[in-house]
Amino acid sequence: MANLVLRVSLGLTLVMIGASAYRDFAPFVANLTDGLGFLSAFGYVWAFLLPALLIFGGGMLAIGRYSYVAALTGGLALGSWLFGKYADRI
């Protein structure tokens, strides 16, 4: 039972974070492309993909299907988010 509660709560949290990023898209794009210089086009494309990965991975995790795909997409999204936040310290 605890597995179900944790899986669904984490999945729905990822879905809500992804939906929130799409809802406030302009500040989200500005945050991602800030300081990238000539790579800002890559940041703009990633601004579309990151929330989609969060929504897809969180949805698959919440319903309990394709757990490896959910772990891959959710982990890629969350890992890139942390890397972007702390990239200046590497």
Burial (CB < 10 A; 0-12, 13-18, 19+), residue 18, is: buried
Place of tokens 């590497």: 90
Q: What is the pLDDT of residue 78?
A: 85
Local confidence pLDDT in tens for the 90 residues of the chain: 888 899 899 999 999 999 998 998 888 888 888 877 888 888 888 889 999 999 999 999 999 888 899 989 988 988 887 666 555 555
Q: What is the pLDDT of residue 1?
A: 87
Q: What is the pLDDT of residue 12?
A: 93
